[in-house]
Structure 1
């Protein structure tokens, strides 16, 4: 297939592009290479992709409507994996317009590109952040969601609603994937685990919010990638059992689906830090702080639906995943400073 991967210089985008290329798909990647975090890391990810046969890259901002229209019309994609977005919960508190531009306007441009050019399936990144202040655990795709606690989470929920409208109006198959705290090699430098490893190695204190009494459903990048590719291969279809009197938010009478992708094993932040300490052979200096605005105490994914419909459930043990990340981090920064 010919697949568009938006955000291909990002953490998840690079891994997805690699897996699609490895199985023989043609991949066209786009990214605006912004400076939300160090562009050198994005360049290094791209450097892994660009020598591979079947891969092409174009620098492009998804919020640029005329450029996106011309790009889609020229390329004729079979399927689209949309991962480009303005990420980060805390950043959205200070920079709301960046989220409106990328996550709302940019998403409409992707939807329109798919509609106008007969794309067979759009798979897009949603987030566990859409569960907001929900406290019923584990989080299920069938749960009602009406109380986001960050603008980032609100934009991701808006994406799901926008996708449904296109599935209903135009018959465009769309599948949204709610990712739960993705970690692993080539990860984002603004994520807590990346900051923890860097600070511990440098002997600096690490900020631990809510005094460490937080739980996250940490999900290894290989599991996320596998889930995305498997879902891409199964275009969303109408749910023949959908009951409009008791509507299930995760499916529809239209070709529309939502899935959680999480490790379904929440871990306390202090335990997570302890595993990092053991791998590094070095103790962390903890700076215990109160809860930050926009954060939630716990995330916990139900993956029953993913298992039932896609026959997949993330299962990489946390120790294995952290070891892989720490080892990559040490190698990458040793290469950087060489």
Structure 2
């Protein structure tokens, strides 16, 4: 069984793939080619092997380099890395005279192997954890949990995901893992107690595991400076963005715009950490990712490229980091989620699954 946590986004005819030949696209009665796009939303850190039982699957040698990049040992597919916001696993196959829906139905069991886990809620049964595997209790859309996922991904540390419904929290989660009922919570085999609270989890992962790169500097002053920057940016920007999402009133919008201007003025290097991405950049990123969706839902006139060019340039640099790009949700999923949470009053954590 494959433990790679991914999310099936769309099922499309391969006409959207520029490498598809026109002969295969338009020929009636002949073989039809389809692509199943499986977008990675968690991690490509573990080496894994996938064996498909369908002879229609083909190997594509042009994907070897990308597969090696993500640690894939053997899979009849290719990884497309050129998309703007996500790495995509494209599984290509031929099927004689079948419609897309029929092919999708036929591959339902295979796609389940790649399904990102739904959220455990009130009344759910406690899952059995792998005794040898690091486990992160998370939530697909929680920016605090994203801090922990990003840190693990950047350092290429294998881990298992258990998603928690933060509106209807499972009783076993609060009783056995986190009495506060929040995420992230890190369960490490051999440790008597889990570690929770996002900044604490991220710092623990960075300092406890030897994996490179190190996000926090060794210099104590620089380490303190980055933590101070996180606190300032939280007060000036993050809290205001949360308030705009929750209420959307004009006063909060103006505070958000003012706070962003002050944050932009504090960006004096390539990154908030200095010349390269560091702890502060990773810890504040999840809320910058949510600016556009929140502004769309709340009809706020705010464009990062127009209004905050330095911050926009920083965001573009961050999106070039594979661990960041892999975890960003496309707007067609994030916007409906933001609406469900802030406007409808009931967060749909399983949207898109």
Q: Is the radius of gyration larger for structure 1 or structure 2?
A: 2
Q: TM-score if structure 2 supplies the norm length?
A: 0.29
